Amino acid sequence: MVSGYVYDPEVAAARARELRAALPSWATLLFALKANGFPPVVQALAAEGGVDGLEVASSQEARLARDLLPAGSVVAAAGPAKHPGLLVELLAHGVDVVHAESALELRRLSRATQQTGTRVSVALRVNPARVDVAGTLAMGGRASAFGFPEPEVPAAIALATSLPGLDLVGFHVHAVCGNRDARAHAAYVGWCLDWAERTASAHGVDLGWLDVGGGLGVSYDGESPLDLAVLATELDRLRPPQGARVVLEPGRWLAADCGWYAAEVVDVKQSYGETFVVVRGGINAFALPGTEDFPLPLVVLPVDEPREPGPRAEARDTRVTVAGELCTPEDVLVRDVHVPQVRSGDLVVMPKAGAYGWEFALHAFLGHPPPTRDVLTATLPADLTLEPTP
């Protein structure tokens, strides 16, 4: 192996069933396909008792959704830069709802319906003026390329209802990523329900769709995980607007635990008092840890018969930085983690790599072979699920 991912689709399916059981009966559950588009994982998530459909953000994702999903599944399309050709392709793939991000996009979408001879349901993506929930990334409550600022929503409603081919069905509010505070997240959903109902009533919108986004956080660093029982209790107290389909669209929370990333150690070297483990497949194969500074767990899997003959570079009982093969100092997977032993020819393995792994990587930079993807066919060592060594 050079570098690659292995997935256990049943882990993702079990997460979907677990979340489904915690959600109120009025909730529709979609999977954000950008998190993991590996077909066996998607099919497992969409199996009986799993998600109701997918959220997509490109023509390729829309085609994949229709190829993999069972009949009757829901597909919603999002993204801040839907050009005219993409909108035509989304309609051709039969997406159910398009989350519109701007006035120009609404006009483009209307023209696309005229070109394709179709009508389409539209939800306005809204950037709230204030968001009282925190996460690893914020897309709402601040200046952003995403959606209509809240004060512009009345004008957007008027435009959407005036354009041919568009059926305005509601709103999309996706404010944060990576929130692990269950009470705060339920309160955010409650705000979305209240705001959407008031806004729809004030402007004559027949509210049939309210997407409250994803944003459920995963604990990568040993901190307290999202309390699903608390989330279930708090959501159960909410009452959605009558007739509205309320959508949650997590990606990371459903898929993170189903994947592992492994890369071959090429070299172990010291530089000015620091130890570097250099692997094949850094951010060109797994960009998430470095770009979002997530301290993912790391395990060294010994390889006693390496492919290369001769002496092996080695480090023992020390803290290391794991760097990749790209010609940039930014190519780092993890920094300052303890390893008992690591040698050239061994494998470093990172669990919780099932979300924003293969899909999020910089495959083209330098043209190294992309990481492989496969379904897990053997039992992994139990210590691969350990949290980072302090």
* Active-site choice (177, 192, 258, 327): 327
- Compute the average pLDDT of residues 324-332: 93
- 99/107 Cα distance (integer angstroms): 13
Q: How many CB atoms lie within 10 A of CB 4?
A: 21
Single-letter amino acid, residue 107: R
Question: Six-digit token pair at 182?
Answer: 């269950």
Look over the chain and give the mean of its residue pLDDT values, rounded to a whole number: 91
Residue 147 has pLDDT above 50, yes or no: yes
Give the pLDDT confidence score for residue 138 in this predicted structure: 56
Residue 1 has pLDDT above 70, yes or no: no
Which residues of 173-235 form beta strands (DSSP E)? 176-177, 209-211
Please give the model's pTM, rounded to 2 decimal places.
Answer: 0.92
Give 32-53 pLDDT, tens digit per residue: 999 999 999 999 999 988 999 9
Give the pLDDT confidence score for residue 375 in this predicted structure: 95
CATH T-level fold of 257-385: Lyase, Ornithine Decarboxylase; Chain A, domain 1 (2.40.37)
Residue 128 has pLDDT above 50, yes or no: yes
The ranges assigned to domains in the chain are 9-256, 257-385
Give the pLDDT confidence score for residue 387 in this predicted structure: 37
Q: Which CATH class is domain 9-256?
A: alpha beta
Give 61-118 pLDDT, tens digit per residue: 999 999 999 999 999 999 999 999 999 999 999 999 999 999 999 999 999 999 999 9
Q: Residues 177, 252: contact at Cβ < 8 Å?
A: yes
327 in catalytic set: yes
- 59/65 Cα distance (integer angstroms): 10
- 268/182 Cα distance (integer angstroms): 42
